[in-house]
A = this chain, B = another copy of it.
Amino acid sequence: MRGLRVGLLGLGVVGAGTWEVLTRNAEEIARRAGRRIEVAAIAVRDVAKARRLVGDGVLVTSDGMEVVRHPAIDVVVELIGGDTVARAWVMEAIRRGKHVVTANKALLAIHGNTIFSAAREHAVMVAFEAAVAGGIPIVKAIREGLAANHIQWVAGIINGTTNFVLSEMRARGLSFDDALAQAQQLGYAEANPTFDVEGVDAAHKLTLLASLAFGIPVQFDKVHIEGVSKLAQEDIAHAERLGYRIKLLGIARRRPDGFELRVHPTLIPADRLLANVEGAMNAVLVSGDMVGPTLYYGQGAGALPTASAVVADLVDVARLDSADPDHRVPYLAFQPDALDDTPVLPMAEIVSSYYLRLRVEDRPGVLADLSRILSAAGISIGSMFQTPHGDSDADIIFLSHDAREGAVDGAIDRIQALPFVKSGVTRLRVEHLL
């Protein structure tokens, strides 16, 4: 069989990694795929630099549309990121009947429904293993490996930058700002880290995971997003004292009346595997009704791990390139006409356990008043401790049992209105992942 001809859009970190993987492991890949996978064209800003890397024999151009429209190209690999130019090139590739492999989570989380619909119309594949958790084959695991299950929930450490920052905050007692500065020095965080530390990148990935797990359209705008930039060192220390670690989790959970989709810092019992995923590593826990909990761990970013996922998708494309489209795995794991329109729940309706911290005047009756408010809201407390602050104040920490978020919102409002309460209430969510 003739080789699969790839058009590469972008030759940045992941693009250069993809070139390297396809070059260095060409034989091993062909032993598996049964045909060679060859980069035939590259679109890149700096043509001269790219030419030095790839040598002759490959079309190098600064015009992405030239690659996308090139008749010799079977599959377009989009690695430029963003959702403007990338979107235009991907849509044009699809219209030209070319398969697409992409690592672009923002593009798919925001425009996935349109893109998959166009791809279906033009009978081409759109594969995106590299868009979630880098080299970990989590898309394939959920989409195919767990196909026998009602997936109940997914909880993932799916942003390496924040996990590195949180690991450093815990291990070395650093503030968020200092840990972030260090992550930037070491190359784990970008100069503008907003998308990572504010949870937006994790929410893009969670959007895709939820669609794959539940068979729902991509709904990025429905994801509740809280990042880690406001996380205080003292909360990490209190959590540790209580036997928990704080991780930025993306959580998707099936409830009887809808789906929960949320990204936020989360307390996890310290003995869970997920709590022990440190540094820039990623891990995703997926629970199915038949298989129980399963976990997938590995490098979630970096040139070669991400390229490993890109090339795995290319091997799939190489196998199914000329196959009847009906034989291919659906884009979002479920047949496009079998997607579920059950709604995503508003945040007030999610159910979680909670960590609440507040500062109060240290005088009799305080705990009774707080307990009465929590109890009246139907919030049951699992544990509590208090530490003195100065001469006359104390910090109180509550851990609740499962409660409805709306009830907690109401209780927090009432607590903050109490005369002896001297701070806002810091609220974090707790997941036991069982």
Q: List chain A positions with a Cβ less than 8 A from chain B.
A: 1, 17, 21, 24-25, 28-34, 129, 135-137, 140-141, 144-150, 215, 271, 273, 276-277, 283, 288-299, 304-305, 307-312, 314-316, 319-320, 322-324, 326-330, 333-335, 338
Q: Are A308 and B290 in contact (CB under 8 A)?
A: yes
Nearest B residue to A336, CB-CB? B34
Q: Which of B17, B141, B323, B338 contacts A145 (CB 8 A)?
A: B141
Copies of this chain in the oligomer = 2
Interface contacts beyond A29-B147, A148-B309: sample of 20 additional A-B pairs, CB < 8 Å, sorted by A = A31-B215, A32-B147, A32-B335, A34-B335, A135-B294, A137-B140, A137-B141, A137-B145, A140-B141, A140-B144, A141-B145, A144-B315, A146-B312, A290-B304, A290-B307, A291-B309, A295-B298, A296-B296, A319-B328, A323-B323
Q: Are B308 and A319 in contact (CB under 8 A)?
A: no
Q: Are A295 and B292 in contact (CB under 8 A)?
A: no
Q: Which of B33, B141, B324 contacts A141 (CB 8 A)?
A: B141
Q: Are B338 and A308 in contact (CB under 8 A)?
A: no
* Given A150-B25, A335-B31, A297 and B299 contact (CB-CB distance below 8 Å): no
Q: Are B296 and A148 in contact (CB under 8 A)?
A: no
Nearest B residue to A334, CB-CB? B31
Q: Are B25 and A290 in contact (CB under 8 A)?
A: yes
Q: Quote the shortest CB–CB distance from A233 to chain B (angstroms).
A: 23
Nearest B residue to A332, CB-CB? B32
Q: Can you sample 24 A-B contacts with CB below 8 Å?
A: A17-B290, A24-B289, A31-B215, A32-B330, A34-B326, A135-B288, A135-B292, A141-B141, A141-B145, A144-B315, A147-B311, A148-B309, A148-B311, A273-B277, A273-B297, A290-B304, A291-B299, A293-B299, A294-B296, A295-B295, A295-B297, A297-B297, A323-B324, A327-B327
A31 CA / B150 CA spacing, docked (Å): 11
Chain B residues near A329 (CB-CB < 8 A): 319
